[in-house]
């Protein structure tokens, strides 16, 4: 016989499931909004339609590796002895969300530092290879030092008795350091060197948009297009 009323389930398990459902229901819209916003800002900074895609792709690679490390350490329990916690066979649903928001934001912050410096050198020299080398040389150590300092702060979470904070104490430093060293220090410069001037491509119909709304440290004439740099160097 059908129940005379709606059957509801209480308890901590039901509360946890409701919390995860609430997060995942709005996650696609929030993620899409974040990606579109970051793409537009990076486009206005670099004047390229390809570099923002490259930057976000590399950040996603670093975050994927960090999520894998959390699964290995907390879901599979390989860090339970070292960090003194009892594994439950999963990772709290709020950990990946907070990790994505904080680590992705910090990664884009470092990205802006590096790309803005590379852009300055590219505007001056028109040589994409030299611009990458000079930009990394002059800003790379600052980014790495900032990431190391912030990671030390995040490591303080490991002294907590709450597994959620322990997970953040591992995930955030790992994501930040990986982004500042492996991604920004190796993968991004190497990819930009291989891509050369092609990565600075800007369609003609978008050039007026960037000239009008592009982000620059000081007002002045718009930077020369990559194609003009390339022809000037020949």
Domain residue extents for the chain: 47-81+93-202
R_g of the chain, CA atoms, integer Å = 22
Separation of alpha carbons 105 and 108, rounded Å = 5
With 90 as the cut, is the pLDDT of residue 218 above it? Answer: no
Residue 9 is predicted with a pLDDT of: 80
157 alpha carbon, distance to own chain's centre: 21
pLDDT digits (tens, 9 = 90+) for 157-170: 999 999 989 999 99
Tell whether pTM > 0.85.
no
H helices of 85-187, in order, are 94-125, 128-155, 163-178
Residue 1 is predicted with a pLDDT of: 55
Report which of residues 193 and 234 the model is more confident about.
193
With 50 as the cut, is the pLDDT of residue 222 above it? Answer: no
**Positive/negative CA dihedral, 101, 103, 104, 105:** positive
Separation of alpha carbons 177 and 174, rounded Å = 5
Output the CA angle 157-153-69, nearest 5 degrees: 60
Report residue 229's pLDDT band, with 50, 70 and 90 as the boundaries.
Answer: low
Residue 13 is predicted with a pLDDT of: 76
Using CB atoms within 10 Å of the CB of residue 80, give its burial: 0 to 12 exposed, 13 to 18 middle, 19+ buried. middle
pLDDT digits (tens, 9 = 90+) for 74-99: 999 999 998 988 888 888 878 888 88
Q: Please, what is the average pLDDT of the chain? A: 85
CB 196 within 8 A of CB 128: yes
Longest dimension (CA), the chain: 84
Q: Which residues contact 115 (CB under 8 A, 6 or more apart)?
A: 42, 45, 46, 51, 55, 135
């Amino acid at each position: 016989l059908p129940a005379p009323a709606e059957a509801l389930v209480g308890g901590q398990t039901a509360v946890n499931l409701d919390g995860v459902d609430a997060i995942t229901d709005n996650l696609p819209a929030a993620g899409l909004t974040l990606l579109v916003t970051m793409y537009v800002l990076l486009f206005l900074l670099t004047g390229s339609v390809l570099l923002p895609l490259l930057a976000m792709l590399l950040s996603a690679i670093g975050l994927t590796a960090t999520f894998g490390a959390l699964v290995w350490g907390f879901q599979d329990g390989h860090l339970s002895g070292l960090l003194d916690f009892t594994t439950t066979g999963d990772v709290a649903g709020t950990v990946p969300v907070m990790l994505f928001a904080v680590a992705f934001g910090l990664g884009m912050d470092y990205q802006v530092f590096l790309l803005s410096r590379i852009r300055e050198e590219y505007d001056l020299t028109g040589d994409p290879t030299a611009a990458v080398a000079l930009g990394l040389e002059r800003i790379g150590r600052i980014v790495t030092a900032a990431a190391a300092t912030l990671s030390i702060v995040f490591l303080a979470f490991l002294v907590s008795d709450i597994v959620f904070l322990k997970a953040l104490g591992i995930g955030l430093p790992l994501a930040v350091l990986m982004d500042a060293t492996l991604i920004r220090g190796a993968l991004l410069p190497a990819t930009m060197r291989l891509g050369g001037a092609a990565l600075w491509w800007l369609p003609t119909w978008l050039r007026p948009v960037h000239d009008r709304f592009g982000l620059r440290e000081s007002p002045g004439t718009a930077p020369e297009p990559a194609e003009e740099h390339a022809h000037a160097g020949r």
